[in-house]
Amino acid sequence: MEITSMLFLLCFLPVSLIIYYVTGDKAKEGVLLGISLFFYAVGSLRYFLLFTAVVIITVALGRQIHKAEEKRIRKLLFIAAICINVVILCYYKYTDFAIITLNQLFDSDIGVRNLLLPMGISFFTFKAISYLSDVYLERIDLSDISPVHDALYLSFFAQIQSGPLTRYSGSFQVEKEKRLDLFSDGVYRFLIGFNKKILLANTLNNITSEVFSNSIENLSTPYIWLGSICYSLQLFFDFAGYSDMAIGISEMFGYRCMENFDYPYITDSVSRFWRRWHISLSQWFRDYIYIPLGGSRCEKRSKIYRNLFIVWILTGIWHGANWNFVFWGFCYFLLIAFERATGLPDKISSKLLKFIYRLLTLLFINCQWVIFRADDLRTGLQYLKRMFIPASNDITEKRTVIMIREYFVFIFAALLFSLPVIPWLEKKLEGKKWAKRIVDTILGLAIIFLFVWAMSFVIAGQNNPFTYADF
């Protein structure tokens, strides 16, 4: 069940909220856990029993790790719990990739299994690892916390499909004192995310689907550039839109949720881009892979680069079981390692050179999204070749002009709102009480109007699944 569907918006969410708020405080988490499991069953009935079993096993082993006094027993339980989650992830996500790779290397004919991914398995597994690691390292104390809370953390329906990868401690705690304010903030945030997804991401998808579904021979240079830029914007508004909706739903139920995006396209370096894009994933890899490997504290610089290499190869593989994702991760490793070795862009003193470096950073990121979007590595490299070695095609060049005219308003809006326009406006209005009230009222009415407009798209059947739901 998509959280942008009519079933979710008009039935599941309002009914769930009513049931949750008429329930007594002591039973709220149990009720929300039941709602979350029902949501998973509707969305992925085939894997519901598997998902439920893994949640129970993870929580049970987490509790045993917490209770165990002997260090060796704690370690064995921790390793077993991690292995169970990782093996399940690898089986469903990477078995076919491994078989295809073996067939290509050894000219064998092993049958591909065509396994379907359980809903949210990548996000669930990482949350499970986070939970188990924090229990093992005694960062959290489970003594006064119900196992129901643990299970809810792992299965909460607002975050199960595509995150954010919230932490058990600190970022998944119910807010009781300001519940009404948090609820209204959540509704506001949900509407913003819904508008981002339906009006911008889905509309830009009309362009990118056409461009990337064409055969390589038909692609002209302007056409593929239009598709690549629109895909960079589409992916941002798609995933940031989901994150806004997930944060909004969490707040409606009284839970704080960490931010996942911070206007990533205003970055001035590749390294800082990943402090703004999918923040929860970047922090997860930092805390559970990079730092345990030694992070930046290693005496030998070679080990620091080794750590970065491992993190970025794993980041690429996490995003997808295909060689283009491995290549995508490797390219990010190269650029981030380059910035660390040279100290760029901080060592640049000229404003002009800083601006040029920023443009080159965005160019690199855009090219990376082309590789990310491609069906395979070879196709992705052919796309890049078409972008940088001029190619012409009368039909697609005319289509480029037509699509720019047809979708100009949406492209311009996407470019504009990928920048921190609203925060800039709010800063300008600091101390201007009445002006701020007027602007807030206008923005609120605009968001409601856009939501009604977006709903008309959904009713008309113009709705696409979230891109990151495939991961």
Give a yes or no: residue 166 inside a domain: no
- Looking at the predicted structure, is the pLDDT value of residue 82 above 80? yes
For residues 310-321, average pLDDT: 96
Catalytic residue flag (residue 149): no
119 in the same domain as 60: yes
Predicted confidence band at 259 (pLDDT cuts at 50, 70, 90)? very high
> For 278, left (φ over 0), alpha (ψ -120 to 50), or beta?
left
- Does 162 score more than 70 pLDDT? yes
Same domain, 108 and 204: no
* pLDDT attached to residue 365: 98
Is residue 169 pLDDT above 80, yes or no? no
Provide the mean pLDDT of the chain.
93
Q: Is a pLDDT exceeding 80 seen at residue 54?
A: yes
Q: How many CB atoms lie within 10 A of CB 66?
A: 18
Residue 467's pLDDT is what?
A: 80
- What b/e readout covers 153-177, taking b as 16+ CB neighbours within 10 angstroms? bbbbbbbbbbbbbbbbeebbebeee
In a domain, 179, yes or no: no
Task: Looking at the structure, tell me whether residues 332 and 239 fall in a common domain.
Answer: yes
Asked which of 97-111, 227-241, 266-280, 397-411 is least confident by mean pLDDT, the reply is 97-111
Burial 334-345, CB ≥16 within 10 A → b, else e = ebbbebeeeebb
Same domain, 47 and 120: yes
Alpha-carbon distance values, 35 to 18, 49, 146, 190, 246 (Å) = 12, 15, 17, 19, 15
263 and 145 share one domain: no
* Inter-CA distances, 434 with 117, 185, 426, Å: 52, 21, 13
Query: Is the confidence at residue 224, as pLDDT, over 80?
Result: yes
337 with 411, same domain: the answer is yes
Residue 344 has pLDDT above 80, yes or no: yes
What single DSSP character describes residue 188? H
d(CA 38, CA 52): 11
d(CA 13, CA 79): 37
* Domain assignment present for 173: no
Looking at residue 176, what is its pLDDT? 63
Residues 331 and 443 in one domain: yes
- The angle subtended at Cα 431 by Cα 195 and Cα 177, nearest 5°, is 65
> Does one domain contain both 188 and 157?
no
Is 170 within a domain? Answer: no
pLDDT band per the 50, 70, 90 thresholds, residue 107: confident
pLDDT for residue 470 is more than 70: no
Looking at the fold, whether 82 and 220 belong to one and the same domain comes out as no
**Residue (of 214, 259, 207, 216) closest to 235 by Cα position:** 207
Residue ending a domain, among 161, 176, 207, is 161
Instruction: Say whether both 201 and 114 belong to one domain.
Output: no
Which whole number is the average pLDDT over 234-260?
94
CA pair distance 326, 317, nearest whole angstrom: 6
Residue 32 makes CB contacts below 8 A (sequence gap 6+) with 16, 20, 152, 156, 253
Residue 454 maps to a domain: yes
Mean predicted confidence (pLDDT) in 109-123: 91
Please state the pTM of the whole predicted model.
Answer: 0.95
Q: How many CB atoms lie within 10 A of CB 270?
A: 24
Of 161, 176, 202, the last residue of a domain is: 161
Domain assignment present for residue 64? The answer is yes
Do 431 and 357 share a domain, yes or no? yes
Distance CA 139, CA 131 (A): 10
Q: Number of folded domains in the chain? A: 2
Residue 176 lies in a domain: no
In a domain, 171, yes or no: no
Please, are residues 258 and 127 in contact by the beta-carbon 8 Å criterion? no
Q: Which domain holds residue 129?
A: 6-161
Pair 151, 196 in one domain: no
Q: Which of 66, 149, 278, 319 is catalytic?
A: 319
- Rounded CA separation 441/445 (Å): 6
